[in-house]
Amino acid sequence: MDRKERVIRTLNLKEVDRIPIYDLVRSDKVIEYFSGEKLPEYEFWEKEEEKLKIMTGKAVNKLCDMTRSFGFGPLKEYECTDEFGFVWHASPYEKTRWIVKRPFNDEEGGIEFIKKLIEKYCKEIKEIKENRKQYREKYHNGFLKIQSYIGNTINLLAENGTGLDCLRHYLGFELFTYIYADNPDIVSEFFEIFTELQIEIAKTVADKNLSPCVLTYGDIACKNKLLHSPEFLRREFFPRLKRIQDTWHNYEIKCLFHSDGNIMEVLDDLIETGIDGLNPIEIVAGMDIKKIKEKYGKKIFLTGGIDMSQLLSLKTPEEVKEICKETIKIAYPGYFIGSTTEIDNSVKLENVIAMFEIASQPVEKLL
């Protein structure tokens, strides 16, 4: 069974020869091991950017049957200021960046910023509609460039949210909450424009021959509880998520939904939006993969479930193998094994190898 067939069969809840891996590779040691090459010294990373991409691509191809958000990450520690005045810090070790200073600190400033975002995204929608062919070609060329690094690993075609994560991140959770309480209409308007942009992107770039699946997302929970009330989510989040996913379904492309945290309370709502898969199933936050499989296993595929915050980062390879075997018995068929979000620099290389070794075995030996 080749990789593409294995992935598509898993997306459709069918039996496969071995369990496919879905993950994000963000660990330097994992990149070295699975690429078979040594990373350049840190001071040469900027000059060796292409080599780092090639190595990361080799590692992803060796380890993962399906992935998203390909890249090596920041090449140096730095801070920069964006067009709106936000100061961002980038970290090569963390493989990401975050806001360290905002250009406002009150509701008035936050609302003015939201208006600027709405204006920006309205312009992007207009540009896509007026130049749909050019946008599609540019997007597909970028996607195929990534594919050239990762070989036959399936890459998710797009990542779409409703704007909740975007706005909450820009404003900070506290200010976001105050603005929504005092001026909900401006926040809802932003969500609507952001969602419309995602729909226009989907209508423009959808091509099931490039990829059978996309990521839809919204980090709506933390450990043991939701970040927002079910009423808020039913009013502002779920209907827009459904519209995005309906668009992708029109092109016969499946939607893997991602949220960290414990979302057990609203899984029925998520199913009603039309999600096809669920990620990352964060066990230590209170997610119960057994209950999820029993209740929804004939409707959605599952990805993740192997804890990266404690199991992959602190435990032994033997413990990792046992958990992997147990999880496969629970979640198969329709299961991509993988970490609870990403394989970053906090995890032990030997534990990732242990997960890989279990996934490499024939399914019948594991059940």
Burial track 92-114 (b if 16+ CB lie within 10 A, e otherwise): bebbeeeeeebebeeeeebbebb
pLDDT of residue 92: 97
Q: Which residues contact 111 (CB under 8 A, 6 or more apart)?
A: 179, 183, 186
Q: What is the pLDDT of residue 23?
A: 98
Torsion from C-alpha of 160, 166, 168, 169, nearest 10 degrees: 130
Residues 6+ apart with CB under 8 A from 271: 296, 299, 300
pLDDT (tens digit, 9 = 90+) per residue, 136-171? 999 999 999 999 999 999 999 999 999 999 999 999
Does residue 50 contact residue 367 with C-beta atoms inside 8 Å? no
Domains in the chain with CATH codes? 3-27+106-366 (3.20.20.210)
Mean pLDDT of all residues in 54-61: 98
Residue 29 has what pLDDT? 98
3-state secondary structure of 173: helix
Using DSSP bridges, classify how beta strands 87-91 and 78-81 pair: parallel, antiparallel or unpaired: antiparallel
Bridge partner list, 296: none
> What is the per-residue pLDDT across 289-307, written as a single tens digit (0 to 9) for each?
999 999 999 999 999 999 9
At residue 242's C-alpha, the angle toward residues 241 and 243, to 5°, is: 90
- The pLDDT value recorded for residue 309 is 95
Which amino acid would we find at residue 40? Answer: P
What average pLDDT does this structure show over 193-207? Answer: 98
- Length of the chain as a residue count: 367
Query: Which pLDDT score is estimated for 365?
Result: 96
User: Token pair of 23, please?
Assistant: 């993950």
Q: How does the average pLDDT of the chain come out, rounded?
A: 98
